[in-house]
Structure 1
Amino acid sequence: MTTETLIHPPVSDADALIADMGARARAAAKRMAVAPTDRKASGLRAAAAELRAREADILAANARDMAAGEANGLTSAMLDRLRLDAGRLGAIAGAVEAVAALADPVGAEIDRTSRPNGMVLSRVRVPLGVIGIIYESRPNVTADAAALGLMSGNAVILRGGSEAVHSNRAIHAALAAGLSEAELPADAVQLVPTQDRAAVGALLRAQGLVDIIIPRGGKGLVARVQDEARVPVLAHLDGICHLYIDAAADPDRAVALAVNAKMRRTGICGATETILIDRAYADPRAIIDALIGAGCEVRGDSAIAALSPHVTPASANDWDCEYLDAIVSIAAVDGVEGALAHIDAHSSRHTDAIVTEDRDAAERFLAEVDSAIVMHNASTQFADGGEFGLGAEIGIATGRLHARGPVALEGLTTYKWLVRGSGQTRP
């Protein structure tokens, strides 16, 4: 048997595999739904300790994935998402601990009302149940998804991408050890044991066993999930994020935010892909030069291209492109009105930001941009559950139903009505 076969073992019956995993996850979810907060937190802290204790094994596994990724021609952005080092692994463990320290949403009362007939009605948060998570290249998702799923009283079935197969298995082993130490059900966090694509299809068809699917990856993955799923999907589409530099922007702040929003990490979904500059802004060339100096390729419309010989003329496709690379498109617009029109036409509704000292312009932008996250005088790179104080995230939901923006503990719950009566009968 070849190494490739071991990594991607084919399955003779993908539906049977997922049915078995789903049944075990359903049983685990029932236990997790009533697990005490301190037990769940203890399991996560133990999992974080295991991640740190197994650093050498996890980084060795990641090195194998990195070598395979480089040999297979993964882009620099994909390799950046895949790469682990001691600092990143420490941050992953820290995120698991941060989730353990958060307030438990399960059982929290959302509201309470009393009816004229004396019945008392309340809504309380309950877990979603069994969550299927399909993701690409990011090994941190294995830990983040497990931590959030467990703390919110759910069971999760994880299916990571083949790019991170060794990393995911090493991280999952550490998580499983932590659960065992806290006497939580091991089946509450399962990793699909094959990269056979048939298993993905089976997971998408698992009505009655899986309550919701969360895809986290590129446009192709999300499109397949949305097309084939027979269970509800919480989707995260492209991160075509915009940064608008208003005429009233502070010049130093504008340059700093433009460079950070684009170049801090180019391969994350919160990276700015398009910068819009008010035609009345005094020094657009300084922004262009700073980006080029930071190693960024700039593609601009005719007004921007005329400002520097180092700017490449933008094509029509550039305004709808998630580069995930050191490339940015820049357009000149006519004030807030022009920025709003461009964003409405091209944004993926992920994260859009304005840089300005004009409070009225800022408030209009915040009110009228219809995206999951809208910012004023802040880098779009802050579009992250950890930065929002949520401990971690499963993804940024860009739709309008159930959850929007960084999906963390609360986003992995729903609610039920509790009705307390004293013998009332309906006339």
Structure 2
Amino acid sequence: MSTISEVKQKALLAKQAAALTSQVTTEQKNEALIAMADALIANADDIIAANAIDLETGRNNGTSESLLDRLALNHARIEGIAEGLRQIVALEDPVGEQLAQFTRPNGLSITQIRVPLGVIGMIYEARPNVTVDATGLCLKTGNTVVLRGGSAAIASNRKIVEIMRSALSSTALPADAIQLIEDSDRASVNEMLKANGLLDVVIPRGGASLIRTVVENATVPVIETGAGICHTFVDESAQLQMAKDIALNAKAQRPSVCNSMETLLVHQAFADKHLTELLAPMQEANVEIRGCERTQALIATAKQATEADYATEYNDYILNVRIVDDLEQALQHIAKYGTMHSECIVTENEQNAAKFLQSIDAAAVYHNASTRFTDGFEFGFGAEIGISTQKLHARGPMGLPALTSTKYMITGNGQIRG
């Protein structure tokens, strides 16, 4: 007699819970989110203790410091995660929103409204905050969620999910609306990707290899969140101090995340005057500079940047620097190496700014601001479920509306089609 797999068992539980979750009121959903936020704060010490196990395992396995930073939790970060839930509470519930209403000549009244997607499968890597962010957004939109985090955060995720499920026991939402796949074998991911009829959509969140695996192998519909090879172009007219501040923030404020800058493009005229000063803060922050030949001629410590470097998302204290002739060459470089995530121009030339904003094909395009702002929290969406770099359904930081579909409700008085 065969034993049902963990993925199928938990996906079934989530599907059964979805019937109730899709029907609860906004007030009931908000009460559940507040209960979860309060429980995370109240049990922060337990979460930190579980996280310490993951951190120790990571160090023993030789995990880099930048990845350990993504994994690490402390009281301040847990408070920030809980605040993300409270921000979701403050946001308008999109479920039930009327998007269109019209009456046909035959008298049929047609109304289009937002509805939950159903059961959402989240496949992600080493950031335990995603466990809470995804859950909060899914529940607020009346969805249930099947979480499959990376093995690097399994102890943290197990404790967080235990706390959130327990918090739901005193609310109108069923605890089974939240499911965690604890099997760290790759087979569990493959099973989720083909769980048609149980999962309504899969959302991968992580590095390029994870996302590629999901996109290439899933038969369940996928909302693709992409890798972030982000660029900042410092134009000839850029203010030096602004360029220094934006570039340093984009690279070094938190290099392990997808909206950090990987390549700095600098106009030749600006570089001739200011490149040494522009990169001084980077070097003080121990950022390794890899540059083109023109960069190396001005920065003696710069290593040679290769084609592979320009196509790499480092998530680390490494920065490519390329000097370009003009805006057109910068646009060509971004078109070749960018991942349609976040791109920035620093310039006082409004014509160049307008051309950059209109020409760049990316989810978020900035003029005189750091790419680090591509984030649901910073956009006022509350926590985000990911940053979509695809073009269908959702693009950019995915807040609540991205986790809904629509349906048409048609009212007649006996019409039949001839």
TM-score, structure 2 normalization = 0.96
1:302 deviates by 0.8
Q: Match of 1:301, as an amino acid? A: C
Work out whether residues 211 and 224 of structure 2, in 8 Å CA contact, stay in contact via their aligned partners in 1. yes
Which residue of 2 is the match for residue 176 of structure 1?
A: 165
In structure 2, C-alpha distance between the alignment counterparts of 1:309 and 1:284, rounded to whole Å: 12
| Preserved CA contact (<8 Å) 2:24 2:172 | no
Task: Give the alignment of 1:271-290 within 5 angstroms.
Answer: 271-281=260-270, 282-290=273-281
Whole-angstrom distance in 2 between the partners of 1:127 and 1:60 = 35
Equivalent residue number for residue 317 of structure 2: 326
**1:407 aligns to what?**
398
State which drifts further: 413-422 or 114-123. Answer: 114-123
* 1:133 counterpart (119, 122, 145): 122
Separation in 2, partners of 1:421, 1:306:
75
Tell me the CA shift for residue 13 of structure 1.
6.9
AA at the equivalent of 1:378 = A
Matched, 1:120 2:109: yes
Q: Output aligned runs, 1:266-305, within 5 Å.
A: 266-281=255-270, 282-305=273-296
Aligned to 2:146: 157
Mapped to 2, the partners of 1:188 and 1:397 lie a distance apart of: 24
Pick from 93, 103, 120 the counterpart of residue 92 of structure 2.
Answer: 103
Rounded Cα–Cα distance in structure 2 between residues aligned with 1:388 and 1:114: 36
The one of 343, 347, 362 equivalent to 1:356 is 347
Q: Secondary structure of the residue that 1:306 maps to in structure 2?
A: helix
Q: Which residue of 365, 386, 389 corresponds with 2:380?
A: 389
Q: Name the CA distance, whole Å, in 1 between partners of 2:345 and 2:413.
A: 55
| Amino acid paired to 1:354 | I
Other structure's SS at 1:181 match: coil
Give the structure 1 partner of residue 174 of structure 2. Answer: 185
> CA–CA distance in 2 between the matches of 1:15 and 1:340?
52
CA separation in 2, counterparts of 1:14 and 1:276? Answer: 56
The residue that corresponds to 1:87 in the other structure is 76
Do the aligned partners of 2:6 and 2:183 also contact (CA within 8 Å) in 1? no
Distance 1:13 1:153 in 2: 33
CA contact (8 A) 2:248 2:282 kept: yes
**1:13/1:54 CA distance change after superposition, 3 Å:** farther
Q: Which residue of 2 aligns with 1:4?
A: none
**C-alpha deviation, 1:103, in angstroms:** 0.6
Q: For 1:13 and 1:238, locate their aligned partners in 2 and report how far apart those are by CA, in whole Å.
A: 39
Between 311-320 and 12-21, report the one with greater CA deviation: 12-21
Between 1:315-324 and 1:228-237, the stretch displaced more is 228-237
Q: Distance in 2 between matches of 1:175 and 1:34?
A: 20
Matched residue, 1:36: 25
* CA distance in 1 between partners of 2:412 and 2:390 (Å): 37
- 1:175-230 CA distances to partner (integer Å, 9 max, x unpaired)? 11221121311111111132232222211111100011111112222222122211
Q: CA deviation at 1:278?
A: 1.1
The 1-side partners of 2:275 and 2:411 are apart by 63
Task: Tell me how far apart the structure 2 counterparts of residues 39 and 278 of structure 1 sit (CA, whole Å).
Answer: 54
Distance in 1 (alpha carbons) for counterparts of 2:2 and 2:90 = 40
Residue 63 (structure 2) aligns with: 74
Structure 1 segments unaligned to the other structure (5+ residues): 1-11
Q: Distance between the aligned counterparts of 2:307 and 2:58, measured in 1?
A: 31
Distance 1:14 1:326, change over 3 A: farther
Q: Select the residue among 231, 255, 273 that pairs with 2:220.
A: 231
Letter matched to residue 353 of structure 1: C
Q: CA deviation at 1:367?
A: 0.8
* 2:411 matched residue in structure 1: 420
Q: Which runs of 5+ in 2 are unaligned?
A: none
Task: Go from structure 1 to structure 2 and tell me whether the alpha carbon gap of 1:336 and 1:182 turns closer, same or farther (over 3 Å shift).
Answer: same
Q: CA deviation at 1:121?
A: 2.2
Structure 1 SS opposite 2:343? strand
Contact 1:112 1:122 in 2 (8 A): yes
